Structure 1
């Protein structure tokens, strides 16, 4: 059993990660900006006011955590890098720092040409800021995360939606996992399975991984 703090536990990804972790017997603290809006989370979840970009929040929650999951969204480009920088800066000074699991962007994965999907000319403009922000966070982990253990989880770049929990998926690292038709597809529910599997049985420490069917 692990003590897991989920920043963004009220969101689409965070709520599913929270539910998956609780269903497996882990102790989960949901760190959210609006605790009053999380009555749909499973029984037994501890809900606190928390912010992954706040030194104070991270410092207060770190001593009781084995893992801190970052599953935040809804901000401008700076949000994800700021969260990564806050966690790395605060946690590297802890005597036993919790591991960071950062739910990132699939657009950071590489196309067959070897360039990130977010650099494709037809990449949707409305998603560009968040894609660039997630790329900034990944770059920070890779270059500045000495003293902490992190994992960056990238969903498929296109076909990633709420759906069914099957409990099955395949993993890769820098390029999307594709099926026989060349599609990379995953539900939020099975992303949560992949995240909690990684918490329980670490395979991708200090690196990015992706998952799909």
Structure 2
């Protein structure tokens, strides 16, 4: 499969690149500038694409079969992820390319019949995480109302951090996944596995999914 990854040098994007290459896919990395080329592994094709320019993104998507956007916005500018996602969706609509949007857990309903989502529960998130969660919710709402692009929205567990590639996890849709101890977590490595799995299987067209241990 010919796959283009946006945000290919980031925490999640770099792991998606590693996972996709290991499976033998033809991977293109879309980055901001040539300085980022040195961060990319061997065997990947780099391309410069301005994430704020749908036309440039569409040009980068031409001749690809699938796109994964792992774009993030920097601290203090969390809300910019909405505009970046809009550009990705516009480009995907122009090219007819299926795209997986790497999002957040904010939209997920808490388990055990709670009326709250991860974002709406006043006691769930640390205060410093709330701006990111609000931006992720706005990002999800944008995707949910998009009708022209063929998107999939991927939510990690509440805790997403570097770890091991176990290759074993659960998949859900709209409810936060927790383990027997009540923890909601997934390694970035296994999240990347789930993203490439979805790229290959297309189980969630114009829908959202989540993964967790």
Could you say whether these structures have the same fold, taking a TM-score greater than 0.5 normalized by the shorter chain as the test?
Answer: yes
Q: Which residue of 1 is the match for residue 23 of structure 2?
A: 24
> Does residue 193 of the first structure (1) align with residue 206 of the second (2)?
no
Q: TM-score if structure 2 supplies the norm length?
A: 0.90
Per-residue CA deviations over 1:31-72 (Å, capped at 9, x if unaligned) read 112432343432111122223332232121121221221111
> Does residue 166 of the first structure (1) align with residue 166 of the second (2)?
yes
Q: Which residue of 2 is the match for residue 110 of structure 1?
A: 109
Q: 1:140 aligns with which of 116, 139, 142?
A: 142
Which is further off, 122-131 or 168-177?
122-131
Q: Give the deviation of 1:198 after TM superposition.
A: 0.5
For 1:92, what is the secondary structure of its paired residue? helix
Q: Which residue of 1 is the match for residue 9 of structure 2?
A: 10
Q: Give the deviation of 1:101 after TM superposition.
A: 0.4
Q: Which residue of 2 is the match for residue 180 of structure 1?
A: 180
Q: Distance in 2 between matches of 1:31 and 1:120?
A: 36
Q: Give the deviation of 1:140 after TM superposition.
A: 1.1
Q: Which residue of 1 is the match for residue 54 of structure 2?
A: 55
Per-residue CA deviations over 1:2-25 (Å, capped at 9, x if unaligned) read 111111111000000011001111
Per-residue CA deviations over 1:125-144 (Å, capped at 9, x if unaligned) read 3222222111111111111x
Q: TM-score if structure 1 supplies the norm length?
A: 0.90
Q: Distance in 1 between matches of 2:15 and 2:132?
A: 21
Question: For this pair of structures, how many residues does the alignment match?
Answer: 208
Moved over 4 A (4+): none
Structure 1: tracts of 5 or more residues without a match? none
For 2:62, what is the secondary structure of its paired residue? helix
For 2:38, what is the secondary structure of its paired residue? coil
Q: Give the deviation of 1:89 after TM superposition.
A: 2.4
Q: Which residue of 1 is the match for residue 67 of structure 2?
A: 68
Question: Pairwise CA RMSD of aligned residues?
Answer: 1.7
